[in-house]
Chains A and B, each alone.
Chain A
Amino acid sequence: MDRRKFISLLTGTAAIGVVGKLGFEITAKSEIIKNADKNLDGKRWAMAIDLFKLKKENTYLSCIEACHQAHNVPDILDKNHEIKWIWREKYKHAFIEQEHKNLPDKITTLPVLLLCNHCDRPPCVNVCPTQATWRRNDGIVMMDWHRCIGCRYCIAACPYGSRSFNFVEPKPLIHNITDEFPARTRGVVEKCTFCAEYIVKGEYTKPPDCVSASKGAIVFGNLNDKTSEVYKILTSKFSIRRKPELSTEPEVYYIIEGEEV
């Protein structure tokens, strides 16, 4: 073997070693993250929103306010650059396939609160090229704002318009900052996290902010627990989900039955 061949053999072996080690580390790391918290296993957090109750006294406005205040969502006037974690939409936009012109006014004028559906089969998680968004064992679709590269593929993939991108620097536009929650930087995508920050050892220490502000219009809990309120309400009342035909299996349910307000 001449010197040249020897050197190329040497570098080749070294390269294989480095790549192999890197590959091992990456798989090992993601395994650790995936199985990090056994407390999350067997849970399925879900939300049932009663639209008639939500309309009463414009409760939905306090839900939006509570969420956006707690999560440092900036006030952006330009609709094109808006950040929305939870927002109000008319029936015809929220349930676009379920609209027809003879619907009663009491339905078409309902304020529908939209947020991330925390799908069982989230397309945003599928497409993310950096695992900056992932589905936890308890079903919450989470985000890592320090890993997101801002490619906005998740926005293209989300059938619900639930994801926002920071087109401008958000910090100067947060009027009343909440120190307990991180503010985001420009160039990353963000969305509702089902207030996962309130979960300690797999249980919520307090309900999500929109739920607390909803005066009972939003019920939240573990759908796998048959004694939970959300399970009881969904098994006793008629509810619909957004775009069920896409097989994303949303975990935000809307109850439209109830008395007129």
Chain B
Amino acid sequence: MLEKAFQGSKIYWTWIIFLLILITIGTYFYLLQFNTGLGITGLSRDVSWGFYIAQFTFLVGVAASAVMVVLPYYLHNYKAFGKITILGEFLAIGSVIMCMLFIFVDMGQPLRIANVFLYPSLNSPMFWDSVSLLGYIVLNIIISIFTLDAEKKGIKPPTWIKPIIIISIPWAISIHTVTAFLYSGLAARPFWMTAIMAPRFLATAFSAGPALLIILCLLLKKISKFDVGKEPLQNLAIIVTYAMLMNIFFLLLEFFTAFYSGIHHHAEHFQLMYFGLEGNYSLVPWMWVSSILAILSLIFLLIPSLRKSEKTLLWACIFVFCSIWIDKGLAMVVTGFIPNPLGYVTPYWPTLPEILISIGVFATGILVITGLYKIALTVRRELKSF
């Protein structure tokens, strides 16, 4: 089946070469980082996690969101999602690969990474996060290979795949819950130490992930004539709407607790994000853009006529995705470190090498997803199912 990823039009190959160039640039700068140390990033003694870990966190959400198509299809036998489950699973595989790469590029001693499994520490959420992510990618690879292969041969998938699919559903929830536990158990960081971290992660995942899936489906329709149809997209849009509403609700709960209690060390992180703190305003414009995009997206999603039009739905999904990316992929990790436990405000902004390495990782994931989508679409085209 893999050979199908290596046959394609001129546009397909141009896209692949473009991604390969980005990967090459990223690799070059990663080697630079590998040889000189993480000093070439914007990270510091006070802000010791930044852009890489934030992308990791955001992408775990995208990976987990596959459950939003898998669950209705396999558990509720919701047939309309039949065409897109494989797209969701492939998106999850690509996202987990990006997650792992982002962890890898963030390590100070990447060659020792096997120590996580050689000296397993059951009390470290990072150990459990590695286990759950590895398990999740294996589950998704098995499920997608066997279901697509069965579809290709026109037979039913093997019966043993069903329990594996059922396991993958709570597993998807678990990967993002454990990722939230990385943060929400740290007494040192009041901004993160909130029980609502895991629910909020899931809400952002289940809005940004399906929003991305809608964007990808509309893109595929345009470039490959692969049309998943109106119904699944509309139902995905409803999932996005509910999840986004929950996300905003959870965010407002955080605001209430922080500002009504008035506890300085809790509120000042939110102040940093939305109003600036001690002359540090770098996140402020971003957070307001994120808020405006969130409001716009909700207007677009909540008005039925706007949600039902593919054009406005596309914009709504782009707004959702960007709004959540700013919140989770830019602000959330860094804000936990500012101010630091001693009260110092140390600004952080990713450096150019850091951004280029990140783009390289993104390009790698997108390359994997492109190849996998190509396989899925070619199989379907040969079956003349579209």
Contact = CB atoms under 8 A, between A and B. Distances in A.
A166 interface: yes
Contacts of B108: 148-152, 165-166, 186-189
Given A123-B188, A158-B188, A147 B115 contact: yes
Interface class of chain A by DSSP: loop
Contacts of B189: 156
Main secondary structure of the interface of B (DSSP, over half): loop
Nearest to B113: A149
Contacts of A147: 112, 115, 119
Interface in B20-38: 36-38
Interface in B296-345: 336-337, 340-344
Interface in A168-216: 168-169, 185-189
B214 to A, nearest CB: 34
Interface in B88-143: 103, 106-110, 112-113, 115-116, 118-121, 123-127, 130
B39 A81 contact: yes
A89 B341 CA distance: 13
A129 B121 contact: yes
B126 A188 contact: no
B187 A153 contact: no
A30 B123 CA distance: 14
A246 B343 contact: no
B341 A187 contact: no
A126 B188 CA distance: 13
A126 B123 contact: yes
Nearest to A94: B342
B107 A151 contact: yes
B48 A160 contact: no
Contact of A130 (B110, B121, B187, B336): B121
A108 interface: no
Interface in B172-207: 182, 186-189
Contact of A156 (B103, B188, B343): B188
**How big is chain A's contact interface, by range?**
35 or more
Given A93-B343, A149-B113, A152-B108, A165 B187 contact: no
B100 to A, nearest CB: 13
B357 to A, nearest CB: 15
A30 B126 CA distance: 19
A151 B342 contact: no
Contacts of A186: 36-37, 39, 108
A129 B127 contact: yes
A171 to B, nearest CB: 12
A158 B124 CA distance: 14
Contacts of A185: 109
A96 B38 contact: no
Contacts of B123: 126-127
B115 A130 contact: yes
A128 B127 CA distance: 9
Contacts of B186: 123, 127, 156-157
A165 B132 CA distance: 27
Nearest to B37: A186
Contact of B36 (A26, A80, A150, A168): A168
A127 B342 CA distance: 20
A221 to B, nearest CB: 27
B43 interface: yes
B340 A161 contact: yes
A239 interface: no
Contacts of A187: 37-38, 107-109
Contacts of A26: 118-120
Given A81-B39, A129-B124, A152-B108, A89 B45 contact: no
Interface in A17-46: 26, 30
Given A30-B119, A96-B341, A129-B121, A152 B48 contact: yes
A248 interface: yes
B49 A152 contact: yes
Q: Which of A30, A84, A127, A132 has the most CB of B within 10 A?
A: A127
Interface centre among B106, B113, B186 (most CB of A within 10 A): B186
B343 A128 contact: no
Contacts of B116: 129-130, 149
Most chain A beta carbons < 10 A, residue from B36, B118, B130, B346:
B118
Contacts of A94: 342
Contacts of B125: 127
A254 B346 CA distance: 27
A110 interface: no
Nearest to B108: A150
A143 to B, nearest CB: 13
Given A165-B38, A166-B37, A151 B106 contact: yes
Contacts of B265: 96-97
A243 B103 CA distance: 31
B37 A167 contact: yes
Nearest to A148: B109
B46 interface: yes
Contact of A167 (B38, B124, B188, B341): B38
B44 interface: yes
A155 B130 CA distance: 19
Given A159-B188, A166-B108, 5 more contacts: A80-B346, A149-B109, A150-B108, A157-B186, A158-B188
10 contacts: A26-B119, A80-B45, A96-B341, A96-B342, A129-B116, A150-B109, A150-B110, A161-B45, A167-B39, A247-B187
Interface of B: 36-39, 43-46, 48-49, 103, 106-110, 112-113, 115-116, 118-121, 123-127, 130, 182, 186-189, 265, 336-337, 340-344, 346
Closest 6 CB pairs of A and B: A150-B108, A187-B108, A80-B44, A159-B188, A129-B126, A167-B39
